[in-house]
Chain A
Amino acid sequence: MKLRLEDCHVVRQNKTLLKSLYLSVRAGEVLAIIGPNGAGKSTLLRVMSGSVQPTCGTVWLDNRNMAEFSAIELARHRALLAQECITTARFSVHDLVGMGLTYTGKHLLRKKQNQIIASVLDRVGLTGFATRDVTTLSGGERQRAHLARVLAQLEGGMESRGAGVLLLDEPLAAQDLAHQKLIMECVLAYARQGGGIVLVLHDLNWAAACADNVAVLSQGRLHAQGKPVEVLNTRLLAEVFGVQSRNYVTHVGTGRPFIIPHDLMEQSSSRI
């Protein structure tokens, strides 16, 4: 088991953000976390990264209590891409990505580090961007540059201790369709290398298409958990998102669920 949450609660300023959560991610597994705005998804990801301590409960990372890890050990075992990354300093893309390697790739030669940087930039579709100033990139490009930094961080410890846990908070939010696909391919490739993946997603169709498991969070509680086909259905959409009516279909080719706003489409079609 790569990562396991055991009865985790998070209480801040008398407000319960997360309540009694049990979740786990195996090596090679892609877990998608979905839920309405303010459900606690980002907090959950921060708990999984160790940057927020649960008020009670335990997080296990590679079968060790996360609280026992040093900051550098943690950096080697897991990486988190936050929803918004600060990019005000005019670093080059190469330097930004290289920062991820500062500790986890300390033992590597400069040449090897440069290879890793080039490889992760290639994977996120930023080949040829290495010398660009990050403040001049578009929002989507910046997000991918930070994704490359996060991938480089895990890559630094890859040879010595294998793949780690990749935690991504809405990695598709700023991307066009082609780059959404590229990022999901990149994520799935990391899972095939033995990494554990946790994605916070708003696009339920990406969750349905790519995740092995889906965890539905609502008001800080785990509302449902399981394979996309078991979890994503009309009842869930009504209960958790408050979206009624016929929105749910099953994709004929794959048998995976597919969600489209039928009622809106019907309204629109009446205007044609």
Chain B
Amino acid sequence: MNKKILFLVIVFICLILSILFSLNIGATHINLWALVSSSAHQALNREVVLSIRAPRVVMGVLAGAALGGAGAIMQGLFRNPLADPSLIGVSSGAGLITSFLIVCGIPDLFPPAYGAWSLPLGGMIGGFGATALLYLFARRQGETSISTILLAGVAFSAFCGALTGILVFRANDQALRDITFWTMGSLVGVNWFRVLLVLPFFGISLLCTAGLAQPLNAMLLGEADASLMGFPVERTKQFAMLACAASVGASVSLVGSIGFIGVVVPHLVRLVTGPDYRWVLPGSVIMGAMLLVLSDSLARIVAAPAEVPVGIITAILGAPVFVWLLVRTHKGSSVS
């Protein structure tokens, strides 16, 4: 118990440190401490930090938390150690709907303050549709098949990718730029309005996740046994899918598809906390946020003054860990 609390505290401190680090780096050199302590002549720097860097960091925290939490939930829901929003097609589902909305110019049909909402909403619908569809495919007699879900996920991602490709073919210049930006996965250009856009969806996600930890624990024993013990299996599945779709769909629609956080983070957390979702969920949320903020900082440093899309950094960091986890899984532990 104490080891688990200590772990959460350490990860949380790391999150705070990575937030401060991220606020501190960028094109202009700004001393954060001087910013807090002194006054007038720091106005420009303060503006840089508050209007450019802060929303970006907040979005990084939210998207990272969404990906980490959703990865943990999906691995439990599918009883599949490799489930994650980008691997099984939730991100591509969200991306397809988002691209469709961009190409058709749906956001421009409304005044900007309203039209912009269509993107996170579309992302959520796409994400939910993809999750529900895959769940239907993979489920046979109360059990989900690991191979079916992965293969169906790959097929579904490819299909969504192809449809997105057709949309790109049909897109005009502005839409093309938006879609390209989206597929790279990047926190560039995030402002407070965009942060505001995703907040309600995170609210929905948070409400759905409350009380989900113990049912998800029981579902690791299989749906049949969970149901026999009195756990509301159907409701758990619906809430879990809604929680993932809302948070991942909304963040994907605004910052693009960022891979590997969702699959790697929950496993790293489990190495310390064990499989109990009462620890895995908060751990994955905090660690996901930390890793994305850190990756975003790296994305700004490695090729400075240019920026590398953050999706590339998470892939470079995440892929080796992912392979390591695969090897470990083959040695005997699965949703461990």
Taking Cβ atoms with an 8 Å cutoff, the residues of A that contact B are 49, 51, 71-72, 74-76, 79-80, 82, 85-92, 95-96, 99-100, 102-104, 135, 149, 153
**Nearest-CB distance from B72 to chain A (Å)?**
13
- Interface status of B232 (Cβ within 8 A of chain A): yes
Chain A residue with Cβ nearest B235: A71
Chain B residues with CB under 8 Å of chain A are 79, 214, 217-218, 220-222, 224-225, 227-232, 274-276, 332-336
Quick one: closest A residue to B142, CB to CB? A51
Q: Which of B79, B227, B275 lies in contact with A71, CB distance below 8 A?
A: B227
By Cβ-Cβ distance, the 6 closest A-B pairs, closest first, are: A75-B230, A103-B230, A89-B220, A89-B275, A72-B230, A86-B222
Contact present for B274 and A74 (CB under 8 Å): no
* Chain A residues whose CB sits within 8 angstroms of the CB of B79 once the complex forms: 86, 88
Q: Which of A80, A88, A95, A153 has the most CB of B within 10 A?
A: A88
Q: In whole Å, how far is B104's beta carbon from the nearest beta carbon of chain A? A: 44
Whether A103 touches B227, Cβ cut-off 8 Å, given contacts A85-B221, A89-B336, A135-B333, is no
Give the residue name and chain of the B residue nearest to A92 (CB). B274
| Residue numbers in A under 8 Å from B334 (CB-CB) | 88-89
Asked if B218 and A51 sit within 8 Å, CB to CB, the answer is no
Across chains A and B, the number of contacting residue pairs, with CB separation under 8 Å, is 75
Residue of A nearest to B336 (CB): A90
Please name 13 further chain A to chain B contacts, defined as beta carbons within 8 Å, in addition to the given A71-B230, A99-B218, A99-B229, sorted by A numbering: A72-B230, A74-B230, A79-B228, A85-B225, A86-B222, A89-B221, A90-B275, A90-B333, A91-B276, A102-B231, A103-B229, A103-B230, A135-B333
For B335, the chain A residues whose CB sits under 8 A away are 88-89
Q: How many angstroms from the CA of A88 to the CA of B275 in the assembled complex?
A: 10
Assess the B232–A71 pair: CB atoms within 8 A: yes
From A51, A90, A102, A104, contact of B227 by CB (8 A): A51
Q: Using CB atoms, name the residue of chain B closest to A103.
A: B230
A74 to chain B, nearest CB (A): 7
Closest to B217 in A: A99
Taking CB atoms, residues of chain A closer than 8 Å to B333 are 90, 135
Interface centre among A86, A95, A149 (most CB of B within 10 A): A86
Closest to B214 in A: A102
How long is the Cα–Cα vector from A100 to B228 in the complex, in angstroms? 9
For residue A80, which residues in chain B have a CB less than 8 angstroms away from its CB?
228
- Hey, which chain B residues are within 8 Å of A74, CB to CB? 230
Report whether B274 and A82 are in contact in the complex, using a CB–CB cutoff of 8 Å.
no
- Closest A residue, CB atoms, query B81: A88
Nearest CB to that of B232 among chain A residues? A71
Bound: A113/B275 CA distance, A: 21
Shortest Cβ gap from A198 to chain B (Å): 14
User: Which of B222, B225, B274, B336 is packed against the most chain A CB atoms within 10 Å?
Assistant: B225
Select from chain B the residue with minimum beta-carbon distance to A49: B228
Expressed in whole angstroms, the Cα–Cα distance for A149 and B230 within the complex equals: 13
Residue of B with least CB distance to A71: B230
Cα distance A7–B233 in the bound complex, in angstroms: 29
A200 to chain B, nearest CB (A): 15
B232 touches A99 (CB 8 A): no
B336 touches A135 (CB 8 A): yes
- Return A33 CB to nearest CB of chain B, in Å: 18
Q: A82-B225, A88-B335, A90-B336 given as contacts; is B276 within 8 A of A102 (CB)?
A: no
Interface centre among B221, B227, B228 (most CB of A within 10 A): B228
User: Do A103 and B336 contact each other (CB < 8 Å), given the known contacts A86-B222, A90-B274?
Assistant: no
Given the known interface contacts A88-B220, A102-B214, A135-B333, the answer about A75 and B229 at a Cβ–Cβ threshold of 8 Å is yes
Most chain B CB within a 10 A radius of its CB, from A51, A87, A96, A99: A99
User: Which residues of the partner chain A approach B227 to less than 8 Å between Cβ atoms?
Assistant: 51, 71
Shortest CB distance A251–B (Å)? 36
B301 CB → nearest A CB, Å: 37
Max count, chain A CB within 10 A of own CB: residue among B217, B218, B232: B217
Min distance, Cβ A15 to any Cβ of chain B, angstroms: 14
User: Can you list 17 pairs linking A and B with CB atoms under 8 Å apart?
Assistant: A71-B232, A74-B230, A76-B230, A85-B221, A85-B222, A86-B221, A88-B335, A88-B336, A89-B275, A89-B336, A90-B274, A91-B275, A91-B276, A92-B274, A99-B214, A135-B336, A149-B229
Find chain A residues with CB under 8 A from B221 CB: 85-87, 89, 96, 99
Q: Which residues of chain B come closer than 8 Å to A149, judged between CB atoms?
A: 229
User: Which A residues are in CB contact (< 8 Å) with B232?
Assistant: 71
